[in-house]
Chain A
């Protein structure tokens, strides 16, 4: 057994185990995405970064414990690093929340993004309306696909469409995919912009957003494949 100090608390774990085991024993959870027990431990997502006493940031799921190791899980550096990690992951994530099986409160990425203040995931990720109940599928100009998530969706869960009060997603590829989704359910750009104008017209980037939405719809109507 070796002695590990987690956030000032002493725990004893068997030699050869990782920091994550010590953290679990100490009851200080860190977020993990790619860690799957014995199946996969390549430390590729870097979500579980922790800070050692020498100032190094190491992945908890792969770093072996040693006697007297001091670990801190919630320092400004750790938070900043994890935030960057979420941003990186999100930047390569193919955002199609409206057709994702994890939508409706099961999205790990959304939870992390909310916890580390990273924006860019659309409302659909937490919307509880699936399949034929989806308001866009019903042909309504619900702004869910292009509105930022994080409001715990009171409108869709009560059956009324999202009116975009939380602000727009500005990533071009998301807008294009959303336009595709709108077009395939015969929702018109005019209606979407009409609903969007209530909260977004005053935004400094509204003109740019409108232009990209128009482009995205044009592209979607032109039949360009996703």
Chain B
């Protein structure tokens, strides 16, 4: 028996469908990605290695930098290159600004209308005008910073494989830091106002199993180790031993399980696992077993990212670098995995390089990892809202399920970067 079916969720990136059924007295939820397949992994095959980050960053327009950095790191690991600390810090700073901007768009423009009880952004503007205007200002400032230091707002192109392609100048770095300093007050104001509006519903999902990248330095920097909530830690190159990709028949994207169990990534997972790496992240009291708490931690990460990025940029302006590379070099043989914390969580790029070419690629995006956990949460949510096998209020259930999906903030164009071709799964 069908309990609820959410056919199109608006205010998320892409197309999906959520269906909750009751079968043999058990509630089952299905997270169906209906977005068309995009075959990025197949496009990458056989291409020159320095081209691959450009192509891979096209997986997502919203978090292109995360894909770009993960792709670069994977190629670097495959070829045994080391970009050096300066460049790694620089990438972290750009990624953090992108995370702040991405979270802001999700929080203020996509998720918040649900909690204020309005239909969308234009209605929200009539209720919380100051918040919307400030968010837009902040969004513009973040994009300005990205353009200034990374070259372009979407799919920037100066972070090359092995180092930077253009010598970064001290002036723009300091200018970007100044912009970010101006943003800090605004960000805190926006987040405080958003948090007062954000009254998340009570919910507990049972499987609280998560993974995140262990940061190199502070919270949200890149790293080369993956932590799990079971206390396990493994190298990215061993990800296949722990993370298993399966292709559900009902979905266009794959779903990932950690040692057979559903697992979640994102802001909630980061906060749960990486608290030790925190430096002044002011998170209000949250119940981390509640999937809606993702939003609160996302909100708290916005000012943190802006401050941390500013500190990194100021530090970088003091240290100089001579790192600059010619994009086309000899290549080599090898296999590499690059991981990075994208705005939505753990992102894995895995390439096999032979000569100058990529022979095989495998990409795991946060939405794929979250896919099964969204089902777990949707099941828990439905169970809390039914009695005697009937929904207490069908409209309410539908609304809550939609809110739940938005709290996870899935990015479906990322998730469908590859799919089944003629019944055979391409890696």
Contact = CB atoms under 8 A, between A and B. Distances in A.
B160 A140 contact: no
Contacts of A155: 157
A147 to B, nearest CB: 15
Contacts of A160: 54, 157-158, 160, 165, 327
Give the interface size bracket for B toward A.
10 to 19
A159 B158 contact: yes
B36 interface: no
A198 B51 contact: yes
A159 B160 contact: yes
Given A158-B158, A198-B55, A140 B48 contact: no
Nearest to B46: A194
Contacts of B156: 158
Contacts of A198: 47, 51, 55
Contacts of B158: 158-160
A120 interface: no
Contacts of A138: 326
A141 B327 CA distance: 10
B152 interface: yes
A139, A155, A191 pick with most chain B CB within 10 angstroms: A155
B376 to A, nearest CB: 40
Interface in B48-84: 48, 51, 54-55
A154, A155, A159, A194 pick with most chain B CB within 10 angstroms: A159
B175 interface: no
Contacts of B51: 163, 195, 198
A159 B55 contact: no
B166 interface: yes
A41 B341 CA distance: 64
A140 B54 contact: no
A138 B164 CA distance: 16
B48, B152, B328 pick with most chain A CB within 10 angstroms: B328
A133 to B, nearest CB: 10
Given A154-B157, A198-B51, A198-B55, A159 B328 contact: no
Interface string B123-158: 000000000000000000000000000011000111
A161 interface: yes
B324 interface: yes
A139 B328 CA distance: 9
A160 B152 CA distance: 12
B157 A158 contact: yes
A190 to B, nearest CB: 11
Nearest to A140: B328
Given A154-B151, A154-B157, A198-B55, A161 B48 contact: no
A129 to B, nearest CB: 10
B48 A194 contact: yes
Interface in B248-288: none
A195 B48 contact: yes
A159 B165 contact: yes
Contact of B152 (A154, A194, A195): A154
Nearest to B48: A194
Interface string A117-137: 000000000000000000000
A157 B151 CA distance: 8
Nearest to A187: B328
B165 to A, nearest CB: 3
A138, A160, A194, A198 pick with most chain B CB within 10 angstroms: A160
Given A154-B157, A158-B166, 9 more contacts: A158-B151, A160-B158, A160-B327, A161-B327, A163-B51, A163-B54, A191-B48, A198-B47, A198-B51
16 contacts: A138-B326, A139-B328, A140-B328, A157-B151, A158-B157, A158-B158, A159-B164, A159-B165, A159-B166, A160-B157, A160-B165, A160-B327, A194-B48, A195-B51, A198-B47, A198-B51
